[in-house]
Amino acid sequence: MSARIRVLLADDQKLVRAGFRSILEDEDDIEVVGEASTGVEAVRLARGLRPDIVLMDIRMPEQDGLAATGEIVADSGLEDVRVVILTTFDVDDYVYGALRAGASGFLVKDTEPMELLHGIRVCARGDALIAPTATRRLIAEFAGRARQPDPSPRLNALTDREREVMGLVGAGLTNDEIARRLVLSPATAKTHVSRIMTKLDVRDRAQLVILAYESGMITPGWMS
């Protein structure tokens, strides 16, 4: 990641893009490098600009945000690009599909500016999911009804401690929260998470959460 977080805005509404640009460009560590009004354009600009973050709307002409996200994630030349889905609560059914397509998280369109900025910075670090409380609630809901658990043989490569850490990641906990719960240093928690992602060959924490649910390692509400 470059010193400044480079952001590509993808939304078919010009006013929405202008609003996000206005907020982001007031920050010294964030730079808006391009705007796309369709999914096709978002993919093309992502390949040309290689931003750190793509803020991706779901409903766009020519190609929707889910398909565009899938293309970006599947492109080996864009492995460092993170897609954050922009959503509204009336289209929550798309959120789980977006995460399965490879999105690193999501932001609600009417989120407060400070939450937007925090979410982008967190996602650019790869440190945690966007909006942890809302994310864990939505992932739990949709992962729970998506399909029957399908145990993955890849999980056999994990140690007992790594399985424990993966379960806490699946519940939406940050590295610091995991460290406190397991009485570890934050650096040790971060190392565990990094090793788990390497062993399971997953792109980021969001994909680790999906795998935790789909494999049956954890179930919705298990920490309630």
pTM (2 decimals)?
0.74
Task: Find the helix or strand (DSSP H, E) in which 169 lies.
Answer: helix 160-170
Q: Please tell me the predicted confidence (pLDDT) of residue 170.
A: 81
DSSP string, 53-107: EEEEES--SSS-HHHHHHHHHH-GGGTT-EEEEEE-GGGTHHHHHHHHHT--EEE
* Mean pLDDT of the residues in the chain: 83
Rounded Cα distance, 128 and 130, in Å:
7
Give the mean model confidence (pLDDT) for residues 157-167: 92
Nearest CA to 197 out of 144, 136, 155 is that of 155
At 67-97, the pLDDT tens digits run 999 999 889 899 889 998 887 755 556 666 7
**Whether pLDDT at 203 is above 70:** yes
Q: Please tell me the predicted confidence (pLDDT) of residue 140.
A: 59
43 versus 156: the higher-pLDDT residue is 43
In the chain, the amino acid numbered 103 is A
Q: Please tell me the predicted confidence (pLDDT) of residue 146.
A: 55
Task: Give the percent of the chain with pLDDT over 90.
Answer: 42
Give the mean model confidence (pLDDT) for residues 98-104: 79
Count H helices and E strands in the chain, helices first: 10, 5
DSSP helix/strand/coil, 128: coil
Give the mean model confidence (pLDDT) for residues 212-217: 79
Q: Please tell me the predicted confidence (pLDDT) of residue 131.
A: 53
Q: Please tell me the predicted confidence (pLDDT) of residue 224.
A: 47
Residue 160 tokens, joined: 């007992």
Q: Please tell me the predicted confidence (pLDDT) of residue 41.
A: 97
